[in-house]
Amino acid sequence: MLWLPILAPCDRLLLSMSAHTDTKKSNKSTVDAMFAAGAHYGFIKSRRHPTVKKFIFGVKNKIEIFDLEKTEAQLEAAIEFVKKVAQSGKQIVFIGSKSEARVAVKEAAERIAQPFVAGRWIGGTFTNFEVIRKRVEKLLELTSQKEKGELNKYTKKERVLIDREIDRLTDLFGGITSMNTLPGAIFVVDSKKEHIAVAEALEKKIPVVALAGADCDVSNLSYPIVANDASVASVAFFADKISAAYAEGKKAAPKADR
């Protein structure tokens, strides 16, 4: 069954998508999983960035629907790249500050012991890395002193102030304490919202893998994955896929790089 540019009845569109998916039996399980996670939902046409037009499959209740077969091809390319990053021994930083992404980004990164930013991106994290690293080392130093009881020499008031500083630094840099050098790649949820992180990565020639919704400019992304970036389930699905790819690539890396 061929799909039409605009299919008003919801059921007709969904049936059309199903038939479209059946043309590639080997891919059906992945496409079905993305569909179940709500990865196919975009926004209304007026919110769509021009660079995303070719990834639109149709319309449902005025909401544009992504072509998940194209999304799958993008995901496969991103997975292969992330595996290579892991095999090279380089890190990948997971980035997602929006509420729908924070938990998924943090959990996906922690499963593979990789750095993450699940809150506000601190400008200069990449472009002014040496300064940022000094702040991180300050956090590590204070945390170590606290754990060893070395802060007992200070007054109660001074310890309270130091604890506040530790908490502040942890909020800002707690997810990137393991990032001793610039990473081999970043994985971003919503490249429009994380435009500063994307710009810094591009300036430092760090490849950008991004889950990009309909309102994102995907022209400057190294490995765009065009899909729903505003759903908790969709974000978790793709974050888990990237995390698993890195873990797989790490297993295949030479022992010296592990």
- Domain of 157, CATH number, reads 1.10.287
What's the predicted TM-score (pTM) here?
Answer: 0.86
What's the confidence (pLDDT) of residue 165?
Answer: 95
C-alpha span between 144 and 10 (Å, rounded): 58
Q: Of 67, 83, 102, which residue sits at a domain end?
A: 67
Quick check: is 19 in a domain? yes
- Assign 245 to helix, strand or coil: helix
Q: Of 67, 83, 111, which residue sits at a domain end?
A: 67
What's the confidence (pLDDT) of residue 17?
Answer: 54
| 256, burial (CB in 10 Å: exposed 0-12, middle 13-18, buried 19+) | exposed
Same domain for 139 and 107, yes or no, is no
Quick check: is 147 in a domain? yes
Same domain for 144 and 227, yes or no, is no
- Assign 120 to helix, strand or coil: coil
Same domain for 209 and 253, yes or no, is yes
| 209, burial (CB in 10 Å: exposed 0-12, middle 13-18, buried 19+) | buried
Beta-bridged to residue 66, according to DSSP, are: 56
Same domain for 15 and 58, yes or no, is yes
The residue segments making up the domain with residue 116 are 71-122+181-257
Same domain for 79 and 170, yes or no, is no
C-alpha span between 200 and 193 (Å, rounded): 14
Q: Of 24, 48, 67, which residue sits at a domain end?
A: 67
What's the confidence (pLDDT) of residue 111?
Answer: 97
What's the confidence (pLDDT) of residue 28?
Answer: 73
Quick check: is 81 in a domain? yes
Check which CATH number belongs to the domain holding 100 and give it. Answer: 3.40.50.10490
Quick check: is 198 in a domain? yes
Give the type of residue at 54. K
Report the relative pairing of strands 185-189 and 116-117 from DSSP bridges.
unpaired
Same domain for 99 and 213, yes or no, is yes
Quick check: is 1 in a domain? no
Quick check: is 117 in a domain? yes
Same domain for 33 and 114, yes or no, is no
What's the confidence (pLDDT) of residue 126?
Answer: 98
Same domain for 140 and 251, yes or no, is no
Quick check: is 5 in a domain? no
Overall domain count for the chain: 3
Same domain for 105 and 195, yes or no, is yes
What's the confidence (pLDDT) of residue 27?
Answer: 55
Same domain for 237 and 215, yes or no, is yes
- pLDDT (tens place) for every residue of the chain, 258 residues total: 334 444 344 444 454 555 454 444 445 799 999 999 999 999 999 999 999 999 999 998 899 999 999 999 999 999 999 999 999 999 999 999 999 999 999 999 999 999 999 999 999 999 999 999 999 999 999 999 988 898 888 899 998 999 999 999 999 999 999 999 999 999 999 999 999 999 999 999 999 999 999 999 999 999 999 999 999 999 999 999 999 999 999 998 777 554
Quick check: is 245 in a domain? yes
- Cα-based distances in Å from 253 to 94, 108, 178: 20, 20, 19
Same domain for 105 and 162, yes or no, is no
Same domain for 214 and 105, yes or no, is yes
* Contact assessment for residue 101 and residue 235, using Cβ atoms and an 8 Å cutoff: yes
Beta-bridged to residue 224, according to DSSP, are: 210
